[in-house]
Amino acid sequence: MKHLLKMLDLSQQEIFEILDLADKLKYQTRHGIPHPILQGKTLGMIFQKASTRTRVSFETGMYQLGGYPLFLSANDLQIGRGEPVQDTARVLSRYLDGIMIRTFEQKEVEDLAEYGSIPIINGLTDFCHPCQVLADLLTIREYKDTFDGLKMCYIGDGNNMANSLIVGGLKVGMEVSVACPDNYQPDEKVMEFTKGYDCFSITNSPVKAAENADVILTDVWSSMGMESEIEKRKLAFAGYQVNDEVMEAAHADAMVMHCLPAHRGEEITEKVFEAHAAEIFDEAENRLHAQKAVMVKLMMPSEA
């Protein structure tokens, strides 16, 4: 594993190795056991979109690992004035030990990896959000002990979260059901991937998708960069909400998760959100531990 560009690239074994290492690092973090595995290493963090969790968890995680994180706003880099990503990749590779990038196009992340010579971590693109889904899988395994026999259900936009959850959920062995409106389906590459799995289903009915689910996930109706479509999307997604009706269809002990930020009253009701705040904020915490595992695996593989 040289980079973390998308869940499609990871094997089941690599996912489990990341989760196992994340468990170990979480234990060390919680118990105040120092783990300066990346001492002397530097991570550049390029942000072309806003972030709370990704920025703070990567920055803190790198500090806890003994390394140094550099926040690089795209507005301040020459990349924001048109310097090609291919050149940026080759320059930054001379200074840094790794790059985390949050941007729009997946191709930009893939180009960084192709032209640079250091590990690249995808901190969210329009196509996918692998760091979030690794944290989500870590959280599910913490609550349920196993993925075997579990059904994961995603309700809402067939966006970056849907794309990564479908691939991640299927790769670790869960049944995956999705409810999306017709015009907002997951990416074609992801739908192609699901063809190898009998335990994948997609429908227009949130209640049907949620039947006997063990984990229900959702995400905002309008992702970053889609601000001009907000009103149109509110109409298209009306009904694609995690609410009491959906929860009644799921198993009584079903978890509810949300990558955050959440829009209460849109993709999830206030009541369901608050009833499942424990899982949702454990999920947010697990960004830190999962990403520390990813950084160690990529930047100091001998310790992973």
Q: Both tokens of residue 84? A: 């090609």
102 included as an active-site residue: yes
Q: Is residue 190 at the binding interface for ligand NVA, with CB under 6 A as the rule?
A: no
Q: Which does 159 bind (CB under 5 to 8 A by kind): ligand CP, ligand NVA, none?
A: ligand NVA
- Residue tagged active-site, from 219, 233, 258, 276: 219
Q: Is residue 109 at the binding interface for ligand CP, with CB under 6 A as the rule?
A: no
In three-state secondary structure terms, 89 is helix
Q: Is residue 132 at the binding interface for ligand CP, with CB under 6 A as the rule?
A: yes
In three-state secondary structure terms, 160 is helix
- 46 C-beta neighbours (distance < 10 Å), count: 25
**Dihedral angle computed from the Cα positions of residues 116, 119, 125 and 128, in that order, rounded to the nearest 10 degrees:** 130
Q: Is residue 48 at the binding interface for ligand NVA, with CB under 6 A as the rule?
A: no
Q: CA triplet 43, 46, 49: central angle to 5 degrees?
A: 145
Strand locations in 156-223, DSSP E?
A: 175-179, 200-203, 215-218
Rounded to whole angstroms, the Cα distance separating 300 from 79 reads 28
Of these, 7, 134, 259, 268, which contacts ligand CP (CB under 6 A)?
259
Judge contact between 217 and 240, C-beta under 8 A.
Answer: no
Q: Is residue 161 at the binding interface for ligand NVA, with CB under 6 A as the rule?
A: yes
Task: Give the CA count within 13 Å in the CB-facing half-sphere of 251.
Answer: 15
Task: Tell me which residue of 3, 213, 230, 221 sits closest to 100, measured CA to CA.
Answer: 3
81 included as an active-site residue: no
129 included as an active-site residue: yes
259 included as an active-site residue: yes
Site map (CB under 6 A) of ligand NVA, residues 105-134, x = contact = -------------------x----------
Q: Is residue 51 at the binding interface for ligand CP, with CB under 6 A as the rule?
A: yes
Of these, 100, 101, 113, 220, which contacts ligand NVA (CB under 6 A)?
220
Of these, 77, 207, 236, 260, which contacts ligand CP (CB under 6 A)?
260
User: Is the Cβ of residue 223 or residue 241 nearer to ligand NVA in the bound state?
Assistant: 223
- Residue tagged active-site, from 53, 102, 276, 289: 102
User: Is the Cβ of residue 116 or residue 156 nearer to ligand NVA in the bound state?
Assistant: 156
287 included as an active-site residue: yes
Cα 254 to chain center, whole Å? Answer: 20
Rounded to whole angstroms, the Cα distance separating 162 from 178 reads 8
Residue type, 135: A
- Residue tagged active-site, from 64, 287, 289, 291: 287
Of these, 100, 109, 121, 259, which contacts ligand NVA (CB under 6 A)?
259
Cα 153 to chain center, whole Å? Answer: 16
Taking the complex as a whole, how short is the minimal distance between the CB of residue 54 and ligand CP, in angstroms?
3
Q: Is residue 223 at the binding interface for ligand NVA, with CB under 6 A as the rule?
A: yes
Per the DSSP assignment, residues forming a β-bridge with 215 are 152, 255
Window contacting ligand CP (CB under 6 A); options: 27-35, 47-55, 148-156, 293-301:
47-55
Compute the 3-state secondary structure of the chain and give helix, strand, coil in percent, each to the nearest 5. Answer: 50, 15, 35
**Which residues are known to be catalytic?**
102, 129, 132, 219, 259, 287
Provide the binding-site residues for ligand NVA, judged by CB under 6 A.
124, 159-161, 219-220, 223-224, 259
Provide the binding-site residues for ligand CP, judged by CB under 6 A.
51-54, 124, 132, 259-260
